[in-house]
């Protein structure tokens, strides 16, 4: 219990520290937002206001989220490794506290990313969403898994000497069990068709497996 509470305090301290640095050094965050905006704009411009099938639109939304997230979270550990602070952090904080501190930070930045890009996306493609609750739940659950797998993947790629494009290559196959059901649920939320609860449950189940696995595997790093 004591161990748990001291880890919890470390998680909070790391989270607060990352926020402080994130606010002062806005480049990473700005790049992620601009990436999402650029991708959305280029897709919308190229379809020129023509009607886009909800199925296709749902896939586009997740593609935008995936690649913008990749741009934003690939450097989760790299920034500290480059600055030379990662060894210090690893010395003073528990490994699990570092992982979860970073994971929560990544999750919250992905939430911020979605809050920014989702309205723009829906307005530019003129998509009347029928079931907002389903859309939000799907995105919320999807982002949890993306943050869990993304944080571990970012830790793996930190030691790579060749980084260009490595992060999304590694992240994509691992997060497919999230994307496939999330895309069909998003499509349903656009059209208000009946949806299958088991898909939502499956994303949640995969989320918890990713969190558990990240936690176990990170100790071997």
Partner 1 sequence: MITFDDVSLSFGRHELFKNISLELRGGKIIAVTGANGAGKSTFLKLAGKIIRPDSGEVKFPADKKIAVVAPEMKIYDNLTAIENLKFFAELRGKNLSAENILELGERVGLNLETFGNVRVENFSTGMRQRLKFAILLSVDADIWLLDEPTANLDDAGREKFFQAIQAAKFDKIILLATNDRAEVDICDEIIQLPF
Partner 2 sequence: MNKILILLTAAIIAAIIFLVPPIKGLGDLAKIIFFHVPTAWVSVIAFFASAFFAAKFLRTSNFSFDKLSERAARLGFIFVLLSTISGAIFSKLTWGAYWNWDPRQTTIFILILIYGAYLTLRAAVADEKVRAKVSAIYSLLSILTVPFLVFIIPRMYFSLHPSPVLNSSGRIEMDSIVLIVLIAAVVDATLIFIQLMRRDFK
206 scored as a contact of partner 2 (CB under 8 A)? yes
Contact (CB, 8 A) for 192 and 131: yes
The tokens describing 146, both together, are 């993306």
Quick one: which of 114, 184, 186, 189 contacts partner 2 (CB under 8 A)?
184
Helix (H) / strand (E) element for 200: namely helix 197-218
**Residue 167: φ, ψ to 5°:** -60, -55
Compute the distance between CA of residue 23 and CA of residue 12 in angstroms, rounded to an integer: 16
CB atoms closer than 10 angstroms to residue 74: 24
25 scored as a contact of partner 2 (CB under 8 A)? no
Compute the distance between CA of residue 32 and CA of residue 12 in angstroms, rounded to an integer: 24
83 binds, among partner 1, partner 2, none (CB under 5 to 8 A by kind): partner 1
Considering the complex, state which of residue 18 and residue 207 has its C-beta at the smaller distance from partner 1: 18
116 scored as a contact of partner 2 (CB under 8 A)? no
| Per-residue interface string for the shown chain with partner 1, residues 2-41, x marking contact by CB under 8 A | ----x--xx--xx--x--xx--xx----------------
169 scored as a contact of partner 2 (CB under 8 A)? yes
DSSP state of 161: S
132 scored as a contact of partner 2 (CB under 8 A)? no
What distance, in Å, lies between the first and last C-alpha atoms of the chain? 25
Phi-psi group of 131: left, alpha or beta (phi > 0 → left; psi -120 to 50 → alpha; rest → beta): beta
208 binds, among partner 1, partner 2, none (CB under 5 to 8 A by kind): none
88 binds, among partner 1, partner 2, none (CB under 5 to 8 A by kind): partner 1
For partner 2, the binding residues (CB under 8 A) are 149, 152-153, 156-157, 159-163, 166, 169-170, 172-174, 176-177, 180-181, 184, 202, 205-206, 209-210, 213-214, 217, 220-221
């Amino acid at each position: 219990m004591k161990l748990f509470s001291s880890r919890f305090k470390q998680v909070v301290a790391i989270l607060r520290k990352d926020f402080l640095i994130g606010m002062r050094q806005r480049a990473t965050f700005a790049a992620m937002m601009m990436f999402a905006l650029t991708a959305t704009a280029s897709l919308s411009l190229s379809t020129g206001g023509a009607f886009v099938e909800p199925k296709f639109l749902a896939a586009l939304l997740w593609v935008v989220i995936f690649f913008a997230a990749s741009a934003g979270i690939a450097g989760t550990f790299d920034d500290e490794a480059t600055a030379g602070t990662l060894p210090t952090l690893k010395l003073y904080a528990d490994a699990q506290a570092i992982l979860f501190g970073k994971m929560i930070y990544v999750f919250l930045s992905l939430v911020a990313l979605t809050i920014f890009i989702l309205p723009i996306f829906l307005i530019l493609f003129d998509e009347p969403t029928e079931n907002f609750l389903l859309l939000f739940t799907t995105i919320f659950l999807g982002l949890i898994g993306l943050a869990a797998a993304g944080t571990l993947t970012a830790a793996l790629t930190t030691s790579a000497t060749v980084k260009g494009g490595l992060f999304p290559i590694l992240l994509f196959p691992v997060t497919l069990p999230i994307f496939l059901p999330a895309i069909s649920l998003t499509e349903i939320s656009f059209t208000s068709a009946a949806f299958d609860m088991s898909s939502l449950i499956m994303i949640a189940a995969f989320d918890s497996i990713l969190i558990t696995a990240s936690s176990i595997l990170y100790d071997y790093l």
